[in-house]
Amino acid sequence: MRLFASLRPVLGAVLATALVAQVQATNRALPEFTALVAQNGPTVVNISTKQSQNLTRSFQGYPIPDLPEDSPLQDFFRHFFGDQGDSGEAPEDDEQGRSLGSGFIVSADGYVLTNAHVVEGAEEIIVRTSDRREFVATPVGADKRSDIALLKVDATDLPTARIGSAKDLLVGEWVLAIGSPFGFEHSATAGIVSAKGRNLPSENYVPFIQTDVAINPGNSGGPLFNLDGEVIGVNSQIYSRTGGFMGLSFAIPIDVAMDVVEQIKTKGRVSRGWLGVLIQDVTRDLAPTFGLSQPRGALVAQVLPDSPAATAGVNVGDVILSYNGKDVPTSSALPPLVGTTPVGESAHLDVLRQGAMVALEVKIAELPEDDGAADDPDGKGAEPAASDFNRLGMVVIELRPEQREQLGIAQGGALVERVKEGPAAQAGLIAGDVILMLDNQTIDDVAGLNRILESLEPGRSISVLIQRGEGRMFYAVRVPKP
């Protein structure tokens, strides 16, 4: 007992030292954002616009639904959003609406970067700085594909954001957003980088940065900073089922944004590289049918006529594994690489073709303005050539001349008229699809398709290239066993 009593002060000192060390270690592990916000907050601006709304009520650009007067949600919308307008205030004119967003100053002489959707259709754009000054902004240019817009205000000696790069950004790295969520100006939220190179359905040419930073309506167009106080992204989109933050936020890499800004300044428009192929991912089921031990690369489902790819000799069924020496792990990795290649320059492709590596040189052209697909054909009215289903569970017939003209298929192919429960249906084929290739062999007609089918070994997984509307896609179908 005496020994313990004599050691008590020593043990207390040791425990206190350990506790202090633990607190210090915890403090070192967590980032300090106060200096970053104080230094960079003045470079962030609030953007409000007036635009024609056709009498539709909205908040921060998001439409407020028309509800019955006795609906319990009416009180909710009145309490938080007011009766009309994006800012919760009645607009000056019933046919005018207000939209709020964010932006940041990229040059001291008044250039401001924001999202294209923030200022789209605006009749007037107001930029408000952190010191409460207001400027009427002039749009310099906008690019819908990247969702970037450049504005100009008549001012000098403005505080400017430091532009960094997203190329060396790491998943798990801390990042900070400053913006005006729901109109609350200069709000700061922090989080980490969740993923890089995300490909969203709305845009294939932007490798988005995914974060868990709280981003809400009004944050759009605001900057995403790293811990060095450099802008590494432009907050653009959220994934949400409620209209609010759900942990999935997407930012445009600043490298992409500044390339757009430079093109707008120098050329007044934005051009992107174009290869001229429609591609898809190589799935686990498709990989062995193309001689791959694991899924990787971009599978060419269609080569557009008179395109750079067609001129260079790219074939349907090629798997693009690298572009200019850079690996293409998935199909989503290819469009940003092509898009950033200067128009007129040559690019090197390494493709896997029927189990062998092929090197191709392609001269990149400019991405056309309109590269949308045409309407789907109905495929109705044809009489079946046979009443029996083939071994994949389909009835296939010849294409009529008017169908070929509508689909743009000059020769070959076989039209799927019926699909029953079986391998084809399980793989995703439907009536109206046109089978162009089977087991990497071109289909000339129905008879040719049947010959290939009869020669297939039961139990194998084969690739089937179909055209559905104007789009083409490979499917993996397993040949049934007897």
Q: Is 79 a catalytic residue?
A: no
**pLDDT tens-digit series, residues 241-264:** 666 677 789 999 999 999 999 999
Distance CA 421, CA 430 (A): 11
At residue 22 the predicted structure's pLDDT band, cuts being 50, 70 and 90, is: low
Q: Is 117 a catalytic residue?
A: yes
**pLDDT tens-digit series, residues 52-95:** 555 445 544 445 555 444 444 444 444 444 444 333 333 444 44
Does 393 have pLDDT greater than 80? Answer: yes
Which is nearest to 263 in space by CA: 194, 195, 339? Answer: 339
At residue 11 the predicted structure's pLDDT band, cuts being 50, 70 and 90, is: low
Catalytic residue, chosen from 102, 117, 249, 350, is 117
Can you give the pLDDT at residue 422?
Answer: 87
Of 11-15, 110-114, 125-129, 156-160, the poorest mean pLDDT is in 11-15
Catalytic residue, chosen from 102, 146, 194, 220, is 220
Of 123-137, 163-177, 408-422, the poorest mean pLDDT is in 408-422
The arithmetic mean of pLDDT across residues 124-135, rounded, is 93
Distance CA 446, CA 457 (A): 19
User: Between the CA of residue 426 and those of 253, 276, 282, 475, 480, what are the distances in Å?
Assistant: 39, 30, 18, 10, 12
CA dihedral over 274, 280, 286, 292, signed as positive or negative? positive
Can you give the pLDDT at residue 201?
Answer: 66
Q: Is 220 a catalytic residue?
A: yes
Helix (H) or strand (E) holding 46: strand 44-52
**pLDDT tens-digit series, residues 306-365:** 899 999 999 989 999 999 999 999 888 899 999 989 999 999 999 999 889 999 999 999
pTM score over 0.75: no
At residue 213 the predicted structure's pLDDT band, cuts being 50, 70 and 90, is: very high
Catalytic residue, chosen from 87, 102, 143, 147, is 147
Catalogue all structural domains in the chain, each as residue range(s) with its CATH number.
Answer: 37-152 (2.40.10.10), 164-267 (2.40.10.10), 273-366 (2.30.42.10), 394-478 (2.30.42.10)
Residue 410 corresponds to which amino acid? Answer: A
